[in-house]
């Protein structure tokens, strides 16, 4: 995916790794949570994954969006330059 970014906008390797590692850790967490929950409930892990994915893609994204907007407004109000989202220095 990194090589599909335009060369003049391509993130450095370190930034790219930090961004993608967050996604990988999240996927691993969801995988192991689904396996654990399927043992507890006796449900099929794939159906639990679908439920978790749908909840994450709807409610989770809404909660993250509201949280980022709230933190961004606090950071702007307090003028904390080092805490701006997307600014890596």
Per-residue tokens: 31: 């995988």
Specify the pLDDT at position 71: 92
The pTM score is 0.54
Q: How many domains does the chain have?
A: 1
> Using one digit for the tens of pLDDT, what is the confidence trace for 8-47?
888 888 888 988 898 889 888 888 888 888 888 888 888 8
Per-residue tokens: 11: 């993130």
85 domain residue, yes or no = no
Distance between start and end Cα atoms, the chain:
23
> Using one digit for the tens of pLDDT, what is the confidence trace for 60-82?
899 999 999 999 999 999 988 87
39 domain residue, yes or no = yes
**Domain of residue 17, residue span:** 2-78
17 domain residue, yes or no = yes
């Amino acid at each position: 995916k990194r090589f599909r970014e335009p060369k003049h906008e391509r993130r450095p390797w370190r930034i790219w790794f930090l961004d993608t590692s967050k996604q990988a850790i999240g996927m691993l967490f969801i995988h192991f949570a689904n396996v654990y929950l399927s043992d507890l409930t006796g449900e099929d892990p794939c159906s639990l994954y679908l439920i978790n994915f749908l909840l994450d893609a709807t409610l989770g994204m809404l909660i993250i969006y509201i949280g980022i907007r709230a933190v961004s407004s606090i950071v702007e109000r307090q003028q904390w330059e080092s805490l701006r989202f997307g600014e890596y220095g």
